[in-house]
C-alpha cells in the first residue's frame, strides 16, 4: 500500500503528537515517583497509557515505511 503525500503528512503529524504525549507522560511518571509518596494507581495508569502510545507510535511508523518486496 502506497500512501499519498497528504496521507503521509497526516500520519507524521499524528506520530509527532503521540511522541510528545509519550515524552510528557514519561516526565510526569518520573516526577510522581521522585516525590513520595507516589500515587501508585495513577502511576500504573500513566504507565499503561504510555505503553498504549508506544504501540500506536510503532503502528504509525510501520505505515510510513515502504513495503518490502517478498
Q: Give the residue extent of every domain in the chain.
A: 5-62
Position 68 scores a pLDDT of: 62
Q: Among the residues of 35-69, which ranges form H helices?
A: 40-64
Q: Which set of grid coordinates corresponds to residue 15?
A: 506520530
Cα 59 from chain centre: 10
Segment 3-53, tens digit of pLDDT? 899 999 999 999 999 999 999 999 999 999 888 887 899 999 999 999 999
**CA distance linking residue 11 with residue 22, whole number of Å:** 16
Instruction: Indicate the pTM of the whole model.
Output: 0.81
pLDDT value for 2 = 81
pLDDT at 69 > cutoff 70? no
Amino acid at each position: 500500500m502506497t500512501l499519498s503525500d497528504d496521507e503521509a503528512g497526516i500520519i507524521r503529524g499524528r506520530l509527532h503528537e503521540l511522541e510528545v504525549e509519550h515524552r510528557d507522560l514519561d516526565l510526569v511518571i518520573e516526577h510522581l515517583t521522585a516525590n513520595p509518596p507516589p500515587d501508585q494507581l495513577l502511576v500504573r495508569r500513566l504507565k499503561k497509557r504510555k505503553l498504549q502510545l508506544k504501540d500506536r507510535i510503532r503502528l504509525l511508523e510501520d505505515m510510513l515505511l515502504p513495503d518490502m518486496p517478498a
